[in-house]
Structure 1
């Protein structure tokens, strides 16, 4: 007979491993904005070319998720996590050893491939350790909140290695020695942790090909279709802001390079606070009005902050106390963004049986990756050809479409009979 205390201890160790994996990949994934700024300064890369780094990160996520998500239960979640951590541990070592724009592309390609394996595995493992829908949603909010703590940490970790006095300095590449060591330690934790994956066992009569077509058939369901398109729009906006905010701070708000990265941490802090507190808020309120209020808040923040960014003169002595007001107002959009992604994900996943969590997460990862690439490349193009203000004003278009998507999503949830979805979203 299994000891309940031993079971609880095992669950806590699994959750610790999942949180640390997500923390690690949060740093790597969301360093792309900082790396874009640095390759522009170090290697003379233009903005449109630098924005391709987002594609090198996101397209492999989409492709690998499309090909492997449905087979992940057969591959094994723990095995996939170990492979992913091993890949990025080696790739991060290449950055200081072989500095160059090509190496940066290779790094983000490896990060993208690895994150596809990690996200499907981590989301699916949450479904295995959660006892009910309320607990599932609580873990999802904590997981995504911990992800944003990693994003927040990334700005300060990278900022500590950037030499603002010498924009052409490559001292920032030394951060990758630290990141490689962190990957290796996380690998050892996962390796020594026991995962019970029996609850995700695929249907015995099906093979990998049947699993793949089952994932595609999921997309044909109206509820799933509306969900992934809404997630696409959300990630488009989040990555547009997160990727280009350091460059916006540097070029439009005239902040020093290191400070431009560190100020962006306010955005990550707002996302972290919002996601960690989302469960408490939506435990008392229905998920749909909270989502709508958040989307409206995102639009209002943009309309309030961007007019403050015009006509700012260069000040060589600018510091935290003298920075433009826009540097502190615009990142507050993260507070309104925060509850949306974990909220709609939990509504969707908790309405499906556990063996469908991997293919459903695969679809989510595919459209999230495509949304991130689209947002970053469009914003980068407009930023380079016109200006940063117009680039961020254009995010109002997908924000408006998100209002429509959420409304249709709620109707589909009600029609599908997912009666516990409101609880799952915020409990």
Structure 2
């Protein structure tokens, strides 16, 4: 089994900090896309569909590497896999400085997505190695996603400031590359206990895909897809929904995505505290129900009410994704954490591509408000699934067994 270090050791505290910064670094680039796209449209005379390649290229790269390369963390070890992924992500980001061609940028974003998928799967597996219980795992994951949320705020701010100063939007990628170099040095210098490969069934793409036969994978995977669909309604389509709105809260509506990201980031730090004290099922049920209620209120009340209700969903959404992710990973043995982390990341990426696309189609057919309607349906479906999970507890036995085995693995 995995020979994990003591959860309280100083090296593990350093590793957690490095992982926090990794998530902030790639969030700076992935969540800056909405701010970069208007400049891309203007510079290359693109339509919306073509410009959207900046989003789809990265998500496709992450999804492909998560599905087919997530097992590397279980085969090569967490440290080497993280270094490979960071190297690919850093080089791809730095390469934005060498040319100014749209096709080149799309290729670089795809490669950076491959790198993100590789090191993210390994980093998620490493978190499972260095935490002492499933509850601590969930709490740590909320801190990780809190740093991701911070990067999601910093990245667009860098792009906006660069453009205001007459500089290039590329600076967000170059800064991410420089941060990546620091992270690589930190990972090289920090000791990580060698991950032991399972002799009877070493990790492979086939072994990873075999986890799709496990009901736990689908319970968490479907929940993640529903969450991502609801989230996309806010950060992808809410600005379009408020286009032309000149009501009393027009100023607030203009910052709907920024407010959403701030509330989501703040909520994830609170979520770490909350999950350290309360059962994950109850927390998810309350938060998903609160999120769904805000969507319904926004749709009933119109854009005046939606200007407040939609960004406020960030408070409830903040806890959901990291908790579902950590719970899904915790359902499996540590020498399969890289594989399951990759699969769950694949579910996330599929929804990140298909859900906004479906909302765009629905919006074109019936009106922009229906992008929010579809997001609300995703939110309600997630709330129903969470309430069912609270009542039936389908993962309880698995998590109890994992908690009992962790002391023997973490030594």
Fold-level similarity (TM above 0.5): yes
**Residues 422 and 11 of structure 1: is their aligned pair in 2 closer, same or farther, counting only changes over 3 Å?**
closer
Contact 2:96 2:173 in 1 (8 A): yes
**Alignment partner of 2:188 out of 191, 207, 220:** 191
Q: Does structure 1 conserve the Cα–Cα contact (< 8 Å) formed by 2:81 and 2:118?
A: yes
Confirm or deny that 1:352 pairs with 2:332: yes
Q: Any residues of structure 2 matched to 1:111-150 within 5 Å, and which?
A: 111-150=112-151
| Cα displacement (A) at 1:136 | 1.9
Q: Which residue of structure 1 aligns with residue 173 of structure 2? A: 176
Distance 1:325 1:42, change over 3 A: farther
Residues 131, 281 of structure 1: alpha-carbon distance in 2 compared, 3 angstrom cutoff = closer
Contact 2:88 2:115 in 1 (8 A): yes
Say if 1:292 and 1:406, in contact at 8 Å, map to a contact too: yes
TM-score by length of 2: 0.84
1: CA distance, partners of 2:253 / 2:119: 30
Separation in 1 of the partners of 2:397 and 2:173?
48
Mapped contact 2:239–2:257 kept (Cα < 8 A): yes
How far off its partner does 1:340 sit? Answer: 1.1
CA–CA distance in structure 2, aligned partners of residues 306 and 394 of structure 1: 11
Deviation track 1:81-121 (CA, whole Å, cap 9, x = no partner) reads: 22222222222233344234323322321221011111211
Cα RMSD after superposing both structures: 3.3
Q: 2:215 aligns with which of 216, 222, 234?
A: 222
Which range moved further: 362-371 or 130-139?
A: 130-139
State the alpha-carbon separation in 2 of the partners of residues 98 and 243 from structure 1: 28
Among candidates 351, 355, 369, match of residue 375 of structure 1: 355
Residues 170-222 of structure 1 deviation map (CA, whole Å, 9 limit, x = unaligned): 73233333232222222222222221133xx22113345xx433323322122
* Partner Cα separation in structure 1 for residue 69 and residue 392 of structure 2: 28
Give yes or no for the alignment of 1:405 onto 2:405: no
The residue number in structure 2 matching 1:394 is: 374
> Could you give the per-residue CA deviations for residues 327-369 of structure 1, whole angstroms, max 9, x where no partner exists?
5542211111111112222322223221121111121011111
- Structure 2 residue matching 1:171: 3-state secondary structure: coil
| CA shift for structure 1 position 126 | 0.7
TM-score normalised per structure 1 = 0.81
Alignment of 1:310-321 (within 5 A): none
Structure 1 pair 5–410 and aligned structure 2 pair: CA distance change class (3 A): closer
What secondary structure, in the 3-state scheme, does the structure 2 residue paired with 1:188 have?
helix
Q: Secondary structure at the match of 1:394?
A: helix
Cα distance in 2 between the residues matched to 1:67 and 1:7: 33
Following the alignment from structure 1 to structure 2, what is the Cα–Cα distance between the partners of residues 14 and 415? 28
Deviation at 1:416, TM superposition (A): 5.9
SS in 1 for 2:398: coil
**Residues 336-345 or 70-79, more deviating:** 70-79
Q: 1:87 to 1:212 in 2, by over 3 A?
A: closer
Q: 1:411 offset after TM fit, Å?
A: 6.2
Matches within 5 A, 1:20-419: 20-163=21-164, 171-198=168-195, 201-208=196-203, 211-245=204-238, 251-253=243-245, 264-305=257-298, 327=307, 329-382=309-362, 387-410=367-390, 413-414=393-394, 417-418=397-398
